[in-house]
Structure 1
Amino acid sequence: MYLYLSIRFGKIVSRGFFLLAFLILFVSAVSASVVIENDEKLTNITNADHPSWSPDGKMIVYAANQAIWVMNSDGSGQKKLYDGMAWEGDPVFNDDGTEIYFAAESKKAYSARYISIHMMNADGSNGLKLTESADSREPSVNPDGSRLAYASRASGNYDIWTMASNGTDNIRLTDGDGDETSSSWNPEGNTIVYSSSGDIFIIDIDAVRPIGLIQDTYNNVEPAYSPDGETIAYASDVGGDYDLWLMNPTGSSQVKLTSDLSSEKAPSWSPDGNKIAYVSNEGGDYNIWLMTFGDEEIEFELTEKTVDIEENQINNTQLIKLREYAIKEPREFIGIVLLFSFVFVVFIVGSFMRKIS
């Protein structure tokens, strides 16, 4: 009898410690090592959007008031680089910083207006249109500068396409039901992350089907690979307004970076991976902000695993709220976990003692 109860007690305690270990692991997963050293506003303009770094990290190109602007990475030297008297946006430097790709509104005689992809020298000279007819925008340059990924309506809704850097050899990469936008290359140039109808996917450039990283009831948009490919920044409206988040390339270990009442979107990594330029409407108008991380390397405590579409989905609203609470109040959350664990162990011991008495 005592042997049976001892074995049973051992199993119950083991399960209790397993639960405790799971809760502690959960806390470490949402409390990954991310130290924000500084967060500052760089511009004081209206409708700023889409910051993008030069390869040497010294310049940031961005869109504002339907024109293309450039500035030093500390916010100084702001100047309008190109204004074709129509809408221009989505600027990005090429791989060596000598050219800039961007999107602009175009019009042919006796035809409707459409958005096309253009390129120009980094000083704003020698503009050249690369796409025609269908709306095409959001160019993203692969690591060696040989190809662009972009969003195009050439086949109906927005799909992700790729083309050579001179505008030739156009290849459709995705063909989903919704609009697929905001493409970003991994450092090896063989995988692209993008958003589709509020979800985030990755796809190999030679693959047939994408893999879902985040698929829930919220809008998760504008994913961007870090320079080392170990982290993906993105924007999500999980808390109501858009905030910046980080996650592993597998879609696990989502970590919230901002918790303001304003909206933060369009994250763009510096070439050294220590900073993120983004847009925020804190104070009213959308402007470019710069977030600087501490010297500590961004690390996720949760061991990476192979992506499993069924396992990686976060569809439980309560779990998301719990995750947010753990991020905002980690000490209180850990205290609650420890208190729960203590009560749980006391309950187990009490039950065991009643059975043997």
Structure 2
Amino acid sequence: MTKKTSSQLARLWLGLALAGTLAACSANTDEQTQSSAQVVEPLKGSSGKLAFAAQTSAKIPYDIFFINMETGKEYQLTESGLSDIAPDFAGDSSMMVFSSNRNDSYDIYKTMLPDGDGERLTTSSADETEPRLSPNGTLIAYQSEASGDYDILTMDLNGENVTRLTQEDSEETQANWSPDGSQLVFVSNRDGDFELYSMNADGSDVQQLTENEDYDAAPAWSPDGSQIAFISKRGQHFQLYLLDLASGEETALTDSGMTVHSPTWSPDGKYIAYVSDGDGSSQINAYEVDSGKSYLVTSGYSKYSGLSWVK
């Protein structure tokens, strides 16, 4: 695979991750407004908050919402008039980080909930997206295009002490923390194909986790640290897979005619929520790990992306 082709594929995936919207603005998170999308019955035994970005109609930019998984009620957190995407919460749900193009390029923002305005943490003219809070709430991992290729970086909650973790002349994207915060899983095409890798939180000891000719992406570590959910394009559409870290075994969890993306685990590890797109529709589903069944969580908006499930 050529570098040009790899870069094009990385941006194709980024377009899926960002849900394809490019614009800029300021946000208002002063209120958590209950929204009017379809919400089905709460999942059996589920709890916490499922955050996501959604385009409520085809001509409206993305805003951030969350569903109270115990009640099934949905609330809107941002209404900026532009694109707020890729939300992630602190463990106690008091703080949210997200990406927004309020200043032309995408930057990382932080807001204190429920009544805080977005504080801009990055100021590069390059896109900086996919923020993920460390389990102890002290660091933000994110991806930046400042070097020309996407790299994984970390910074403090105030935007200081920025550390570049990857130095390869390739695309490194979609970092996600291990439950204990000691490692990050991420996507890279450093060996040609897009595969999953892990590294220590300081960027050392990089290990390749998947090895195939397919396109692996969007890794999410299970709460007990034993498995990683991810998506892979091994046919016409991306589908949901599970990697067992002890054995290296990869198991397909979905086999649908829709494109699956944005997986995230429930805090108790019982469910993996994901987005399904196809035939002009978009919805959030949840895969029950024990039964192998998928359930509808919500639908009714034009597009969904960037899921994050917290207590």
- Residue 61 (structure 1) aligned with residue 51 (structure 2): yes
| Superposition deviation, residue 270 in structure 1 | 0.7
Q: Distance in 2 between matches of 1:279 and 1:177?
A: 31
Richer in strand (by share): 2
Q: How much is the aligned-residue C-alpha RMSD, in angstroms? A: 2.2
- Residue 115 (structure 1) aligned with residue 106 (structure 2): yes
Determine the structure 1 residue equivalent to 2:250. 254
1:127-146 equivalences in 2 (<5 Å): 127-133=118-124, 134-146=126-138
| Superposition deviation, residue 123 in structure 1 | 2.3
Q: Distance in 2 between matches of 1:161 and 1:266?
A: 20
| Superposition deviation, residue 215 in structure 1 | 2.9
Determine the structure 2 residue equivalent to 1:186. 178
- Residue identity over aligned pairs, in percent, reads 31
TM-score, normalisation: structure 1 = 0.63
1:116-149 CA distances to partner (integer Å, 9 max, x unpaired)?
A: 0001123253221111123211011111111111
Q: Distance in 2 between matches of 1:251 and 1:156?
A: 36
Q: Does the 8 Å contact 2:100/2:106 carry over to 1? A: yes
Task: Could you tell me which runs of 5 or more consecutive residues in structure 1 were left unpaired when the two chains were aligned.
Answer: 1-42, 46-55, 108-112, 297-357
1:1-357 equivalences in 2 (<5 Å): 57-65=47-55, 66-73=62-69, 76-107=72-103, 113-123=104-114, 125-133=116-124, 134-197=126-189, 198-208=194-204, 210-249=206-245, 252-282=248-278, 284-294=280-290
Determine the structure 2 residue equivalent to 1:336. none
Q: Distance in 2 between matches of 1:139 and 1:200?
A: 18
State the SS of the aligned residue for 1:188: coil
Q: Aligned pair in 2 of structure 1 residues 67, 124: CA closer, same or farther (>3 Å)?
A: farther
Q: Does the 8 Å contact 1:234/1:244 carry over to 2? A: yes
1:19-51 CA distances to partner (integer Å, 9 max, x unpaired)?
A: xxxxxxxxxxxxxxxxxxxxxxxx659xxxxxx
Q: Does the 8 Å contact 1:213/1:251 carry over to 2? A: no
How many residues align? The count is 239
Q: Distance in 2 between matches of 1:273 and 1:228?
A: 8
Q: Aligned pair in 2 of structure 1 residues 77, 207: CA closer, same or farther (>3 Å)?
A: closer
| Superposition deviation, residue 242 in structure 1 | 0.8
Q: Aligned pair in 2 of structure 1 residues 121, 206: CA closer, same or farther (>3 Å)?
A: closer
State the SS of the aligned residue for 1:97: coil
Richer in helix (by share): 1
Q: Distance in 2 between matches of 1:273 and 1:222?
A: 17
Q: Does the 8 Å contact 2:48/2:267 carry over to 1? A: no
Q: In terms of Rg, which structure is larger?
A: 1
Determine the structure 1 residue equivalent to 2:13. none
Q: Distance in 2 between matches of 1:243 and 1:138?
A: 20
Q: Distance in 1 between matches of 2:246 and 2:167?
A: 22
1:72-130 CA distances to partner (integer Å, 9 max, x unpaired)?
A: 226832232102111110001112210111000032xxxxx210000112325322111
TM-score, normalisation: structure 2 = 0.72
Determine the structure 2 residue equivalent to 1:315. none
